[in-house]
Structure 1
Amino acid sequence: MVMTEVKEILIRLLREDLQVREELKQVIGIDNIVIRTTLENVSKSLEEQAKLNLENRQILNSVVRTLNELVEAQKRSEDALTKLSLAMTELTEVKGLKNRIYSIGMRWDEDNEEVIGLFLGK
């Protein structure tokens, strides 16, 4: 209870008595120059932090744009790979069909050599 009363008295004196306030500043080593210097340092630090925040935001936006571009490029690559895979499958089927036709043709040639010769005028 006594501490609360002392605290209230000190606060009232600091608010109301300019001389007490000035004496307290001198006792604890605070004067206007120190306060001004401290405020200037804080202000500079805040400005530097604001610049860094802006740079970081710009970098982050750039990274996000790049990631979006990479995602789109990956989608295009996947589409191209799918098309390539389908084309390879078709090519394999066509080669298989060509080989079958060739094989059938060879057998037919052997079986019908005379007919082919007549047809070609041999």
Structure 2
Amino acid sequence: MREPLPDDMFDELCPSSLNPIRFGDKWAALIIRCLEHGPRRFTELRVPLKRVTPKVLTQSLRSLERDGLVKRTVYAGTTPHVEYELTPLGRSMLKPMAVACAWAEEHWDELLDARESYDNVTQHDRDRTVIV
């Protein structure tokens, strides 16, 4: 029996959400992290990825499968189920992702400050916009 994924693996204040280096869609890196230690069922992935709707999670998994990063295996026994796991190509993403996450963690405060500043200026500009 494998250890369950932690519910708070990706809380909203996780540095991975600030990582400006992205590939695939918004959730791809988080899915890859969930599969880092072996295959997982869809319901297992839903635990730490609770902010992702089932539809979007399915789309992201399909996209990762299409790109050759994730392998989908269907087990058709008495209790049929599907598992997702990283391919060797998907595993090759773990090292660059670790570097990107370390960078985001190191620059956490700067990233938050920049986003807050941008959002404040942008909101101020929207408030001042006059529609003619």
Q: Which has the higher contact order (CA 8 A, sep 6+)?
A: 2
Q: Larger helix proportion, structure 1 or 2?
A: 1
TM-score normalized by the length of structure 1: 0.26
Q: Larger strand proportion, structure 1 or 2?
A: 2
TM-score normalized by the length of structure 2: 0.25
> Which entry has the higher C-alpha Rg, 1 or 2?
1
